[in-house]
Amino acid sequence: MSDETPEPPLWEQLADKSANLPQGDRLQKVLAATGWGSRRVCEDLIAEGRVTVNGDVAILGRRVNAIEDHIEVDGAPIGVRPDLVYYLLNKPVGVVTTSKDTHARPTVVELVPREPRVFSVGRLDVQTEGLLLMTNDGDLANRIAHPSHGVEKDYLAEVGNGRVSPGGLRRLREGIELEDGLTAPAKASQPEPGLLRLTIHEGRNRQVRRMCDAIGHPVRRLVRTRIGPLSDRSLAPGAWRELTTAEWKAITEAVAQGDLGYDPEL
């Protein structure tokens, strides 16, 4: 008789291993949520050994933290699929945030590669310049667009009529009554006379311009300098670049925390 202890069945080994793994969402659910296919397709990817978590080949039943764990499919971080692109564009004045324009004005899609076809996440009016996110990831765009979310956006506004009074800054910070209701409190500062730095998290139509009009300082120039975790002072007007993996993860984390939202035309 052999003294060796028989090896437990494979299903029992996997169950024991899974029980000792971190808890969270099931891996196939996370993969499906980031656009890798239906849950059944994602289960097949896992079963075929094509998915790794923190460098280890994943097993069915694995639970993960989508924010903290490093998950790859065929060596590519989830969400950064070969068929998905994410561009950060610095929109110049005079360019419209549409795919086509009836007045033959230049559009933002003409400033980025034609293939694959992308669309803007949020809008800036024709006279507003600054950062704009463009992608063909409809799932991410839809989650960003959901009205229950909101993201902080930073703007620099050059305004008329000289220095804004302390009372005007206080009104911006406390909220201003517009025709569509009271605005949420904004972060507002004046680095120099006639120059405002504003941070808002709402996305009302032309909101920054209307807020400045309400305190008697119409906007002469408006630049969006930050969208949530995205910023780039070195990006020239009309230039674009792809998001880094770290930036993509930061946006995904913001969406997961209910902290990133759609920005209607400002």
Q: Among this protein's residues, is 25 annotated catalytic?
A: no
CA distances for 171 relative to 6, 48, 192, angstroms: 76, 59, 18
Beta carbons within 8 Å of 32's beta carbon, 6+ residues apart: 38, 39, 41, 42
Torsion angle of alpha carbons 224, 229, 230, 232, nearest 10°?
Answer: 90
Q: Contact, 241 vs 87, CB < 8 A?
A: yes
Copy the structure tokens of residue 12.
């029992």
Copy the structure tokens of residue 116.
């694959």
Residue 175 CA to its chain's centroid (Å): 25
CA distances for 102 relative to 105, 126, 141, angstroms: 8, 14, 25
d(CA 166, CA 159): 15
Task: Select which of 25, 125, 213, 232 is catalytic.
Answer: 125
Give catalytic residue positions: 125
